[in-house]
Amino acid sequence: MIEEPTLELARDRLRNREVIAVVSGKGGVGKSTISALLALNIANRESTVLIDLDIHGMSIPKLFGIEDRMHEVGREGLEPIIINGKLGIISLRGVVGNKYVVLPGERRGGVLLDLFAYTNYGNAKYIVVDMPPGMSDELLVLHRLRDYTPIIVTLPSRQSIGVVEDLLKYLVDSGIRPRAMVINMAFMACGNEVVKPFGDTRWAIELARKYGIEVVRELPIDPAIEDYVGRIGDYKGKLMAELNNFIDLVLRR
């Protein structure tokens, strides 16, 4: 059960900040990598905090190589771990350490809300939320907190798109405008040929049109990204350049 004072505290702390939620509907689509790169991109322009709300997977600390670092607790709450002097990161990993987390449903929402309510955001203008796959308490908690901009991540595969459509229906029914979509791992260059290992992207593009999504970007597979797991903040490859243009369009109202 969500305590109203905690809910009000979280709302107050998020006031006057832009919240961007990276959502996928299913796992295995590279959502956390996209969340990390988007947050790094935005942090190059404005102070940004990335919240890892996937409390069971907690991929963000691994991507940034901060699995063993704990959050300090100051007068204003949990202090984000700062990456590259610009991006703050908040994760349950920084609270529980190297332990797995098994939460019953009735406690899950409260833990999620606590991360929002007791974080010291400082002067961050943007809050990027790495959402877990699927549709569960995380979506409900975020919806109760405030309006947010969802960024949909999908593979071109029909299976991924089918799951994402359920997520889009939920967003529309909840009055949340789905504005941007990333079609991840859409293609790769093999010599002079372009290969689409997960199928044609037209299905994803048609889905975006159906739901009025204005900003769509097809991202390539970059095998080099694996070399940056643990130091994703150093990555400057082709995905970063593509997402730089993408986030320009998303942030432009």
Query: In this structure, what DSSP letter does residue 158 have?
Result: H
Region 18-23: what's the mean pLDDT? Answer: 95
- Position 46 confidence tier, pLDDT thresholds 50, 70, 90: very high
Region 173-200: what's the mean pLDDT? Answer: 90
Query: In this structure, what DSSP letter does residue 79 have?
Result: P
| Burial grade of 196 (CB within 10 A; 0-12, 13-18, 19 or more) | middle
What are the pLDDT digits (tens) for 160-185?
998 999 999 999 999 998 889 999 99
Percentage of residues in the chain having pLDDT higher than 90: 60
Q: Indicate if the pLDDT at residue 103 is higher than 70.
A: no
pTM greater than 0.85 (yes/no): yes
Q: Indicate if the pLDDT at residue 1 is higher than 50.
A: no
Q: Indicate if the pLDDT at residue 137 is higher than 90.
A: no
Instruction: Assign residue 124 a region (left: φ > 0; alpha: ψ between -120 and 50; beta: otherwise).
Output: beta
